[in-house]
């Protein structure tokens, strides 16, 4: 999205806009701020696919009754190291934060802890929650069921699986944690949409047509299914992430999973799983961090492939983007700008751009 035809907005202005709109449609002030911070961090990190581009659908779902603006997140069952959290059909960004906070709290005396969630919604980036734990010197794990089914089982031709994302974050002495955050398809469906609009073919390993066989025709691909990474490996991976995210809590899985964009009047009963491993229960924190320093040096110092300037750690590009966007503003495409401006006008809140 970093082309010259777009607008720029400050973090503060975007945060104020989102927070105020959420308040106007019934979200309590504290919750609105918390959810908006989470949402905007995706844009700061350059993960625009999970940032304010989704804001209009979150608003629509609240207006249509599909998401509860006044959710009371509660614990329905727990032991000292496990819990099931009911999100009361609230914004996933808020529910996820509350659940990960509970996991971190349960681990504060050195236990590992896992919290399963039901009655939630699309929660943005999985990395956000894993990084919450990493900032507390815990390895953080975050799993979610996708909010739309786009994938067929291996050998199948029916979308009964989501492209389920997960994240694992590690504390480091760098200014950012190392964080894996991935969904299980080779390419995001958004890239296929772009190719179809432009009338271009897609690589043969991105998608199948509706018959379940690989296609390079982007239009056929949109009627079909995204292909998982590594073929049957990615099928097993997305299935495992989906089961982790739903089976312990009773969130929807398989055919029960609705469509974030289509069924805006119905609760999604989304599921997540959050886990934390406190480093200092396993070894002295400094010993762990020394090892991380050495491992990071091995990765960064590896001989580079032809034409490569620098080897990045997972999460490093996102951190560099965050630093840059905090300083220079967050880029927003022209079409999205118009969409957000219309929302601002409707609710009488400000939406001030830098340029």
Burial of 324 (0-12, 13-18, 19+ CB in 10 A): middle
Q: Which uninterrupted H or E stretch holds 167?
A: strand 166-170
Q: Which uninterrupted H or E stretch holds 143?
A: strand 138-144
Instruction: Determine, following the binding rule CB under 8 A, whether residue 259 of this chain makes contact with a copy of itself.
Output: no
Q: Which stretch binds a copy of itself (CB under 8 A): 4-12, 34-42, 215-223, 241-249?
A: 241-249
Instruction: List the interface residues with a copy of itself, window 105-164 (CB under 8 A).
Output: 110-114, 116, 139, 152-158, 160-161
Residue 67 Cβ, how far from a copy of itself at the closest point, in Å? 23
Applying CB under 8 A, among 18, 22, 279, 336 the residue interacting with a copy of itself is: 279
Applying CB under 8 A, among 175, 190, 201, 230 the residue interacting with a copy of itself is: 230
Instruction: List the interface residues with a copy of itself, window 7-66 (CB under 8 A).
Output: none
CA angle 53/320/338 to nearest 5° reads 20
- The region that residue 275 occupies, defined by phi over 0 for left and psi between -120 and 50 for alpha, beta otherwise, is beta
292 contacts 313 by C-beta, under 8 angstroms: no
Instruction: Determine, following the binding rule CB under 8 A, whether residue 95 of this chain makes contact with a copy of itself.
Output: no
Instruction: List the interface residues with a copy of itself, window 163-192 (CB under 8 A).
Output: 168, 170, 178, 180-182, 186
* Token couple for 68: 């509860």
Count of residues of this chain found to bind a copy of itself when the rule CB under 8 A is applied: 81
Q: Which uninterrupted H or E stretch holds 275?
A: strand 270-278
Any residues with CB less than 8 A from the CB of 141 and at least 6 apart, and which? 130, 133, 166, 167, 168, 273, 274, 275, 276, 277
Residue 185 per-residue DSSP state: B
Applying CB under 8 A, among 69, 92, 258, 278 the residue interacting with a copy of itself is: 278
> For 52, phi and psi rounded to 5 degrees?
-65, -10
Interface map 291-310 toward a copy of itself (x if CB under 8 A): xx-xx-xxx--xxxxx-x-x
Instruction: Determine, following the binding rule CB under 8 A, whether residue 205 of this chain makes contact with a copy of itself.
Output: yes
Residue 324 Cβ, how far from a copy of itself at the closest point, in Å? 20
List beta partners, residue 287. none
Instruction: Determine, following the binding rule CB under 8 A, whether residue 281 of this chain makes contact with a copy of itself.
Output: yes
Instruction: Determine, following the binding rule CB under 8 A, whether residue 270 of this chain makes contact with a copy of itself.
Output: no
Residue 51 Cβ, how far from a copy of itself at the closest point, in Å? 20
Instruction: Determine, following the binding rule CB under 8 A, whether residue 286 of this chain makes contact with a copy of itself.
Output: no
Residue 126 Cβ, how far from a copy of itself at the closest point, in Å? 12
Instruction: Determine, following the binding rule CB under 8 A, whether residue 348 of this chain makes contact with a copy of itself.
Output: no
Instruction: Determine, following the binding rule CB under 8 A, whether residue 274 of this chain makes contact with a copy of itself.
Output: no
- Smaller CB separation from a copy of itself, 69 or 275: 275
Q: How far apart are CA 10 and CA 336, in angstroms?
A: 15
């Amino acid at each position: 999205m970093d082309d010259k035809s777009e607008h720029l907005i400050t973090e503060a202005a975007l945060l104020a806009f989102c927070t105020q709109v959420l308040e106007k449609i019934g979200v309590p002030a504290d919750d609105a701020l918390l959810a908006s911070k989470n949402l905007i961090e995706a844009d700061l990190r350059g993960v625009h696919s999970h940032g304010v581009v989704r804001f209009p659908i979150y608003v629509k779902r609240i207006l249509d009754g599909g998401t509860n603006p006044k959710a009371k997140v509660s614990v329905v069952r727990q032991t000292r190291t496990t819990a099931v959290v009911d999100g009361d059909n609230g914004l996933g960004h808020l529910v996820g934060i509350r659940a990960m906070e509970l996991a971190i709290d349960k681990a504060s005396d050195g236990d590992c802890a896992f919290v399963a969630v039901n009655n939630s919604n699309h929660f943005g980036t999985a990395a956000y929650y894993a990084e919450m734990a990493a900032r507390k010197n815990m390895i953080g794990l975050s799993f979610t069921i996708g909010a739309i089914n786009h994938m067929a089982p291996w050998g199948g031709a029916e979308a009964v699986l989501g492209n389920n994302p997960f994240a694992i974050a590690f504390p480091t002495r760098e200014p950012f944690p190392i964080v894996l955050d991935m969904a299980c398809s080779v390419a995001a469906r958004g890239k296929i949409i772009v190719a179809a609009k432009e009338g271009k073919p897609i690589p043969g390993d991105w998608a199948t047509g509706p018959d379940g066989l690989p296609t390079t025709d982007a239009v056929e691909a949109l009627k079909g299914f995204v292909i998982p990474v590594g073929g049957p490996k990615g099928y097993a991976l997305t299935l495992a992430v989906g089961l982790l995210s739903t089976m312990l809590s009773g969130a929807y899985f398989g055919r029960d999973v609705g469509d974030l964009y289509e069924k805006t009047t119905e609760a999604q009963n989304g599921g997540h799983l959050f886990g934390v491993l406190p480093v200092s229960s396993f070894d002295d924190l400094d010993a762990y961090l020394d090892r991380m320093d050495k491992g990071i040096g091995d990765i960064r110092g590896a001989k580079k492939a032809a034409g490569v300037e620098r080897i990045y750690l997972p999460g490093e590009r996102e951190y560099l983007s965050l630093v840059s966007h905090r300083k220079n503003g967050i880029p927003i495409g022209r079409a999205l700008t118009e969409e957000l401006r219309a929302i601002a006008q409707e609710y009488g809140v400000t939406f001030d751009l830098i340029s």
